[in-house]
Amino acid sequence: MRQNSVNGYVWILLAALLWSLLGVISKFCQHAGVLPIETAFWRAGIGCIFFLAHAGLTGGLRIPVRHALIFALFGGWGVGVFFGAMQMAIKLSGGATAVVLLYTAPVWVAVFSRFLFGERITRRKALAVGIALCGTALVCFSGGSLPGHASLAGIAFGLLSGLCYATHYPFYRWWQSRYSTASIYGYMLLGGVAALGMGGPVHISHTPDTWGWLFALGLLTCYMAYICYGQGLKRISLVRAAVTCHLEPVLGTLWVWLFWNESFSAAGWFGGALVLSAVFLLTTDKTGE
């Protein structure tokens, strides 16, 4: 049992490491001239090919049509809107700001649990939400991680990506016991690709270097990251996985600082620390396990 738990943490740490590459690789793609929505399209499309191939080889493509449709419809929101919003946030506000705003997801979960399911908001949760709101405000209005003035549109897209991300937790957890990660995300990504394909033009006339970055984006931050995450959730609880994933925003801000010289002001760094502290409070609340 202990060995199984250790393996679970290793899988989640690998997922966090792979997801942390999203901002820096996306900036390479966008710097090469790929528009944000098209970058999101190729991330979803390349990831989808790998997931469908995986599901096909393991017999996971044969699922009831109604369930495939449910996955695809959720993918329009959970992949199409999510991936697109994240890329827009990276473009407008910077990779570091986008990843911090993405990690407002547990705050969304706490708020919606209260209104949709009547879950009691403990003092710990209320404190965490308040801290997260203060931290988010500092990150957003300190100018973000890009030079110049804060982008209100970039902030909105970043918060939207956090909202989309929050819905993945209960959705995947609900279906995890019935279908493999490859089956769930294969059909989800199909829906996401369809949604993103309608969101803007898609080109194939990219340079080999650009295709290399797009391929890395789809393989590493989509297919491999979600496979590792799914393996981890089979071995440790959702709460423990969420806490372990805190490595992602830390590494994500490190990569864009090293490769793209993105950095927050002192107020922005303090705000980011507040957001992560709030997430830690929420995900270690024993009443939420």
Contact 145, 249 (CB under 8 A): no
| Structure token pair of residue 13 | 């740490």
Distance (Å, whole) CA 51 – CA 60? 10
**pTM of the entire structure?**
0.85
Distance (Å, whole) CA 157 – CA 73? 21
Show pLDDT as tens, one digit a residue, over the chain (289 residues): 666 677 888 898 899 899 999 999 999 999 999 999 999 999 999 999 999 999 999 999 999 999 999 999 999 999 999 999 999 999 998 888 888 888 787 777 767 666 765 667 677 777 877 887 788 777 777 766 676 666 889 989 999 999 998 888 778 878 888 999 999 999 999 999 999 999 989 999 999 999 999 999 999 999 999 999 888 878 876 666 766 676 787 788 888 888 988 877 787 788 878 877 877 776 666 554 4
Distance (Å, whole) CA 125 – CA 278? 9
Look at residues 13, 26, 1 and name the one whose alpha carbon lies nearest to residue 231.
13
Look at residues 218, 219, 260, 265 and name the one whose alpha carbon lies nearest to residue 24.
260
Beta strand spans in the chain (E):
none
pLDDT of the residue at 257: 85
Contact 195, 76 (CB under 8 A): yes
pLDDT of the residue at 113: 66
| Structure token pair of residue 139 | 């990150």
